[in-house]
Structure 1
Amino acid sequence: MTALAEPTSGLRTEYPFTLPRGYVDEHGVVHRDGVMRLATARDEITTQADPRAKQNPAYLTVLLLARTVTTLGAVSEVDHFVVENLFASDLAFLQDLYRRINADGHTEVGVSCPHCGQDFTVDVAGDAPGGS
């Protein structure tokens, strides 16, 4: 995956990721690598006002991800149809990534080795060397 250019301000706004399973398109092609951008206030407000989210609050997640996942493999457009057809594990992964980058501001988590007890960080977005 190519590196993303960082804005001159130093604020990271795009986060590459690799889905655990991947989106399977109508031709059977699996798409796993993508990019999610930081959400804006407009993303949050617009999706909450959407009639589908008002009718079913759980649909808010689909709408937010469709707006903030900017690329997914060779899929021409990531829309609500694509998000609706993700495997549950991939949807959960993207929900967690959304929360991490928009609330926590990073994709790293602290972990400890179960064998030696050494503490280290892992990039859960999967864009670090050796990531899934």
Structure 2
Amino acid sequence: MRRTAPAEERERRDGHAGHAGHTGGSGRREPLRTEFTFELPRGYVDEAGVVHHTGVMRLATARDELVPLRDDRVRENSAYLSVVLISRVVTRIGTVDDIHPGIIEDLFASDLAFLQDFYRRINAEGHTRAAVTCPACKEEFAVNLAGGRLGES
């Protein structure tokens, strides 16, 4: 399923240009980014003992947020909502592309917390950057929560 549209197609469809969306340096709209890569802090350990660190999360739709509310597991335990929701929007973890609530249940707590925050950032804030302050020198800078190895910028 295609989730991005070239600027010309969106402008033709919307009937106007430049009123919504981010524009690049050329004054043209950039395509909507709908998938974001991430790197889990600890990693998902599959049945064979292989640890998977990288993955992909897509933007959530209204349906993604509504469907879990009809799930009996969520009705019985509201805390399960995030497990079902995250399982709907994570499309891949390592080589595992059949993501379901059971996979998310098997994540370490720190990885689930990371994915919950990542979900909030890309869906509510629209980016994966976070402002941080160095505890040693007190310098403020931005880090990209989408991943990268330690020491990379």
TM superposition score category, shorter chain reference: 0.7 to 0.9
1: CA distance, partners of 2:133 / 2:53? 27
TM-score, with structure 2 as normaliser: 0.75
Aligned to 1:83: 104
Q: Could you say what secondary structure the match of 1:89 adopts?
A: helix
Aligned 8 A contact 1:16 1:127 in 2: no
Amino acid at match of 1:57: S
**Cα drift, residue 57 of structure 1:** 0.4
Residue 139 of structure 2 is matched in structure 1 by 118
| 1:58 corresponds to which of 79, 99, 102 | 79
- The two structures, once aligned, show a CA RMSD in angstroms of 1.9
Q: Does 1:31 align with 2:47?
A: no
Q: Is the 8 A contact 1:47 1:64 kept in 2?
A: yes
Aligned amino acid, residue 36 of structure 1? M
Give aligned-pair identity as a percent: 56
The number of residues matched between the two structures is: 126
Please tell me the residue identity of whatever aligns with 2:51.
V
How many Å apart are 1:76 and its aligned residue? 3.6
CA distance, structure 2, for counterparts of residue 19 and residue 113 of structure 1: 22
Question: Does the Cα contact within 8 Å between 2:55 and 2:92 map onto a contact in 1?
Answer: yes
Instruction: For residue 131 of structure 2, give the secondary structure of its aligned residue in structure 1.
Output: strand
Structure 1: stretches of 5+ with no match in the other structure: 1-5
2:135 is the counterpart of 1:108: no
Rounded to whole Å, the distance in 2 between the matches of 1:32 and 1:63 is 20
Q: Is the contact made by 1:35 and 1:72 (CA closer than 8 Å) also made in structure 2? A: yes
Cα displacement string for residues 39-73 of structure 1 (whole angstroms, at most 9, x for unaligned residues): 00000110111111111101111101110000100
- Structure showing greater radius of gyration is 2
| TM-score normalized by the length of structure 1 | 0.87
Q: Runs of 4 or more off by more than 3 Å in structure 1? A: 113-118
Distance 2:128 2:104 in 1: 21
Choose the corresponding residue for 1:71, options 67, 82, 92. Answer: 92
1:82-126: CA deviation from partner (whole Å, max 9, x where unpaired): 000000000000011011111111110112334444332100121
Identify the range of structure 1 (104-113 vs 41-50) with the bigger mean alpha-carbon deviation.
104-113
Which string of whole-angstrom CA distances, capped at 9 and with x for unpartnered residues, describes residues 3-53 of structure 1? xxx933521111100000001011100011000001000001101111111
